[in-house]
Amino acid sequence: MSRHTSGESDPWRTSEYGGPVLPAFRFTSWIQRSPYFDAAHRAGARAYDLYNHMLMPGVYTTPEDEYWHLVNHVTVWDVGVERQVEISGPDGYEFMELLTPRDISTCRVGECKYVALTTPEGGIINDPVLLRLGEDHFWLSLSDWDVLFWAKGVAVNADLDVDVREPDVSPLQIQGPKSKDLMSALVGPKVLDIPYYHLIETKLDKIPVVITRTGWTAEVGYEIYLRDSAYAEELWDRVMAAGKPHNVRAIAPSEIRRIEAGILNYSSDIMLDNNPYEVGMGWTVDLDKKADFLGREALRRIKAEGAKRKLVGIEVEGDSLGAWAPEFYPVVVGGKKVGHVTSLTYSPRLKKNIGFALVSIEHAKLGTPFVVRTVKGERGATVVKKPFVDPKKEIPKT
Amino acid sequence: MAEIPGTIPVFRAAWYRRSPYFEASMAGGARAVDIYNNMYLPSYFDDPINEYWHLVNHVAMWDVGCERQVEISGPDAFEFTNALTPRDLSKCPVGQGKYVVITDANGGIINDPVLLRLGENRFWLSLSDSDVLLWAKGVAIHSGMDVEIREPDVSPMQVQGPKSKDVVAALFGPKVLDLPYYHFMEASVDGIPVIVTRTGWSAEVGYEIYLMDGAKGVDLWRKVMDAGRPYDIRPTGPSDIRRIEAGILNYGSDMTLENNPYEVGLGWLVDEDKEADYIGKDALRRIKAEGVTEKLVGVEIQGPPMASWLEDFWPVLKDGRTIGRLTAGVYSPRLKKNIGYANVPIGHAKLGTRLTVRSPSGDREATVVRKPFLDPNKDIPKS
């Protein structure tokens, strides 16, 4: 039974926003709001995404318009939904090592790392950016799902002296080629000395922040982690003022740009039943790291046996299929389902539908053709190399 | 349909999960959704006031596939599950369900699921909105216990209202009517495997049908609709009005990880003479001995009828000072009053205490009253 063929009369149709929006989502007290919610609303946020039980602006103008602003100018994102899990206490370091296959011994204080958190079976709990604030003091800047519960749960029987909690921290992302101009106007020139994936702790007058050279775009970018939500409105206004000469705009996270860059989204490209190898995160696994970690044996076995599925880059033929997909489109070879599309967008720069698909390994070779069943009918597709632009990540490191 | 305020545009996106009933709910006229456990939950098909009356007078079916299950099995499953909750599961025989809280080491509430004991060492936790799968999997590590923890292919629907007995009898035969309150049985409808429980979120007579084959959701939906047609069954959203009348709590608003069971009126879920160790035991003993500092109280709120759900936690004031927040508030068309819950310091929790609640359209007077607002002995759902 499909409801996606009735065109304009279908309440689930693609909206004016450039992507599909629900007919109505109930606005209730138990949906959390980021401390920037009102400011973002005033700046024109008009559709939202729900992430970590919290609303995140999803569209201000259109995804395509916002994309061009991101790649040409500088943009501000309300990503208060990136909730933090703070790990501290005498055994904080040891506990952090336990949670991830990445070797944290090489992560100095003041450095950040993109990590997978894994179960003993090698499944991915989350793919946060880790911030090392002290020898035994870490933040995990989360994608979606309640990792606080995972970390607290692991701590129950770990016999380690750690404190695990959600601090009052709410990030903003500042992304785009002119983000350096904005940030040096806001913070001073010292911000330009922060290397890629490093952080500083500082204050903007009274406003306590951590600033990282990270982001979800593969453009030059920063994140400002506000450490006291009472200052959210003031911080937002100061960012906008600092960015005004550089044509700053509030936009939503860009699905287009992150897919071009090969950046993954937890809950679509990665789920609990995926291991790091099959989604291309094998480079974050240090099987021989010295410290104990959850999943070592399973990941060793998976690596030896080889992944059974693989997340591949795809190009899908035909006209635009929208800025994001409303469902996981089936991937079909010879009439048989061999996987599904996990992310899909139309890149206005590449003038193509690009995305990722999780397919069985025998259909993962570059150039493999298959069929994708979309809301607009069946489309031909091909496995291609990803990322789709800037494979060495030279842009964000500049 | 009257205009229903309180919606906001949200993406329809692949990263939100769909219940097996999703297509049927949409075709059945769902007008709005919540997102609950990362899954769409149809929140109303009609004005929630009409849906309330239908629930109270007839029978309603709800797509609550978002009540995800955590299944705990394996040789040590009893011991492990008993360590997750302050309720004493040695008093829960196979075939029975229990309303429980899952607590962390500080006594904070992780979730308030309905637990079903399917076997000596096999349990389901039927969840409210938080990722208990991650909590339980985390706790299992280094616990030294041999357990398996997973999310099974199980998706509940609720059939609630005074005529629900007629509907389930038509579906499963008269033996289903022998189920005592909070008990369950395995059954099938034309080969579709289900578990039927005498539970629900309405405090009306009601059942939940736990579908055990996600490929059969639309099929089951149709069969329930067919069986219910003579009794005027309708798909609706869960009724916030009815659950508040009944004193039922909603995780995420009336309680969060910041709350312990005592302060939200769930102290009866803490078995103080439970011998087995469980997570939070020391903290809860200390809290009990010291007494709580805040309390979730029933309130009646003056002024014009409120909406059918609360969009924001309204501040609660005493003598001009904010002392707490309104966690739930609706207009009950039956009681012809605005009713809800407020979280306030213990010094302002006495029955009859006068408070002020600050709504976006102005201040309203409120009074602390007894809850539940109706049927305090739960005679209705047990009937």
pLDDT in tens, A36-45: 999 999 999 9
> Which residues are CB-contacts of A60 (< 8 A; sequence separation ≥ 6)?
A43, A44, A45, A46, A66, A249, A250, A251, A252
Residue B250 lies in a domain: no
Which residue carries 């029955």 as its tokens? B351
Report d(CA B100, CA B271) in Å as an integer.
11
pLDDT of residue A18: 66
8 A C-beta contact, residue B294 and residue B343 = yes
Cβ neighbours of A119 in B, within 8 Å: 137
Complete DSSP assignment for A7-47? GGG-TTSB-TTSSBB-S-EE--TTSEE-TTHHHHHHTT--E
> Which residues are CB-contacts of A156 (< 8 A; sequence separation ≥ 6)?
B105, B138, B139, B143, B279
| CA nearest to B307 within chain A | A28
**What residues pair up with B364 in beta bridges, in sequence order?**
B357
pLDDT in tens, A52-61: 999 999 999 9
Of B14, B24, B253, the CB nearest to A327: B14
Cβ neighbours of A58 in B, within 8 Å: 10-11
Looking at the structure, do residues B49 and B163 belong to the same domain, yes or no?
yes
Looking at the structure, do residues B157 and B38 belong to the same domain, yes or no?
yes
pLDDT of residue A9: 36
pLDDT of residue A237: 98
Name which of A62, A125, A156 to mutate to probe chain B: the one with the most chain B Cβ atoms within 10 A of its Cβ: A156
Of B7, B14, B35, the CB nearest to A326: B14
Domain boundary among B135, B150, B165: B150
Cβ neighbours of B144 in A, within 8 Å: 157
Number of domains in chain B: 3
| CA nearest to B8 within chain A | A25
| CA nearest to B327 within chain A | A29
Residue B167 lies in a domain: yes
Looking at the structure, do residues B52 and B80 belong to the same domain, yes or no?
no
**Nearest-CA distance from A351 to chain B in Å?**
22
Output the CA torsion B138→B139→B142→B144 (10° steps): -140
Report d(CA A313, CA A370) in Å as an integer.
12
Looking at the structure, do residues B359 and B216 belong to the same domain, yes or no?
no
Whether residue A21 is predicted with pLDDT greater than 80 in this model: the reply is no
Whether A53 and chain B come into contact, CB under 8 Å, resolves to yes
Q: What percent of chain A clears pLDDT 90, i.e. is strictly above it?
A: 91
pLDDT of residue A1: 26
8 A C-beta contact, residue B8 and residue A30 = no
Of A1, A26, A46, the CB nearest to B7: A26
Question: What is the crossing angle of helices B164-172 and B217-228, to 10°?
Answer: 120
CATH number at residue B323: 2.40.30.110
Domain boundary among B116, B131, B150: B150
Domain boundary among B224, B243, B262: B243
Give pTM, 2 decimals. Answer: 0.95
8 A C-beta contact, residue A177 and residue A219 = yes
Whether A25 and chain B come into contact, CB under 8 Å, resolves to yes
Report d(CA B283, CA B262) in Å as an integer.
11
Looking at the structure, do residues B333 and B317 belong to the same domain, yes or no?
yes
Of B12, B134, B310, the CB nearest to A28: B310
pLDDT in tens, A257-299: 999 999 999 999 999 999 999 999 999 999 999 999 999 999 9
Residue B166 lies in a domain: yes
Domain with B48, as residue range(s), is 22-67+153-243
Positive or negative CA dihedral for B45, B48, B52, B54? negative
Whether residue A341 is predicted with pLDDT greater than 90 in this model: the reply is yes
Residue B5 CA: distances (Å) to CA of B32, B47, B206, B309, B333? 11, 11, 29, 10, 18
Positive or negative CA dihedral for A148, A151, A152, A153? positive
Residue B84 lies in a domain: yes
pLDDT in tens, chain B (383 residues): 333 457 888 888 899 999 999 999 999 999 889 999 999 999 999 999 999 999 999 999 999 999 999 999 999 999 999 999 999 999 999 999 999 999 999 999 999 999 999 999 999 999 999 999 999 999 999 999 999 999 999 999 999 999 999 999 999 999 999 999 999 999 999 999 999 999 999 999 999 999 999 999 999 999 999 999 999 999 999 999 999 999 999 999 999 999 999 999 999 999 999 999 999 999 999 999 999 999 999 999 999 999 999 999 999 999 999 999 999 999 999 999 999 999 999 999 999 999 999 999 999 999 999 999 999 999 999 99
pLDDT of residue A5: 30
Question: What is the pLDDT confidence band of residue A186, given thresholds at 50, 70 and 90?
Answer: very high
Report d(CA B362, CA B352) in Å as an integer.
22
Looking at the structure, do residues B73 and B145 belong to the same domain, yes or no?
yes
Cα three-residue angle B283-B284-B290, rounded to 5 degrees? 90
Cβ neighbours of B26 in A, within 8 Å: 3, 12
pLDDT in tens, B21-55: 999 999 999 988 999 999 999 999 999 999 999 99
Name which of B134, B146, B316 to mutate to probe chain A: the one with the most chain A Cβ atoms within 10 A of its Cβ: B134
Q: Which tokens go with B46?
A: 């009609």
Looking at the structure, do residues B90 and B188 belong to the same domain, yes or no?
no
Q: Where are the alpha helices (DSSP H) in chain A?
A: 37-42, 63-72, 92-99, 147-156, 179-187, 232-243, 255-260, 296-305, 394-397
- Contact criterion met (CB < 8 Å) for A22 and B10: yes
Looking at the structure, do residues B119 and B230 belong to the same domain, yes or no?
no
Residue B186 lies in a domain: yes
Which domains are present in chain A?
A: 22-76+169-195+215-223+230-258 (3.30.1360.120), 84-165 (3.30.70.1400), 263-394 (2.40.30.110)
pLDDT of residue B189: 96
| CA nearest to A52 within chain B | B38
Looking at the structure, do residues B162 and B61 belong to the same domain, yes or no?
yes
- Contact criterion met (CB < 8 Å) for A268 and B15: yes
pLDDT of residue A23: 67
Of B27, B34, B137, the CB nearest to A3: B27
pLDDT of residue A19: 67
Looking at the structure, do residues B201 and B183 belong to the same domain, yes or no?
yes
Looking at the structure, do residues B161 and B27 belong to the same domain, yes or no?
yes
Q: What mean pLDDT value characterizes chain A?
A: 94
8 A C-beta contact, residue B367 and residue B326 = no
Residue B252 lies in a domain: no
Of A2, A17, A119, the CB nearest to B137: A119
Q: Which tokens go with B32?
A: 């709005």
Q: What would the mean pLDDT of A331-349 be, rounded to a whole number? A: 97
pLDDT of residue A88: 98
Q: Where are the alpha helices (DSSP H) in A196-323?
A: 232-243, 255-260, 296-305
pLDDT of residue A72: 98
Looking at the structure, do residues B59 and B89 belong to the same domain, yes or no?
no
Cβ neighbours of A156 in B, within 8 Å: 105, 138-139, 143, 279
Query: Strands across the sheet with A84-88, in order?
Result: A112-114, A129-134, A137-141, A84-88, A163-165
Residue B274 lies in a domain: no
Whether residue A22 is predicted with pLDDT greater than 80 in this model: the reply is no
pLDDT of residue B273: 94
pLDDT in tens, B259-289: 999 999 999 999 999 999 999 999 999 999 9
Whether A27 and chain B come into contact, CB under 8 Å, resolves to yes
- Within 10 A of A118 (CB to CB), how many other CB atoms are there? 27
- Contact criterion met (CB < 8 Å) for A17 and B9: yes
Cβ neighbours of B18 in A, within 8 Å: 327
- For chain A, how long is the longest CA-to-CA vector? 63
pLDDT in tens, B50-62: 999 999 999 999 9
Q: What would the mean pLDDT of A187-202 be, rounded to a whole number? A: 97
Whether residue A4 is predicted with pLDDT greater than 60 in this model: the reply is no
Residue B308 lies in a domain: yes
Q: Which tokens go with A199?
A: 């952080």
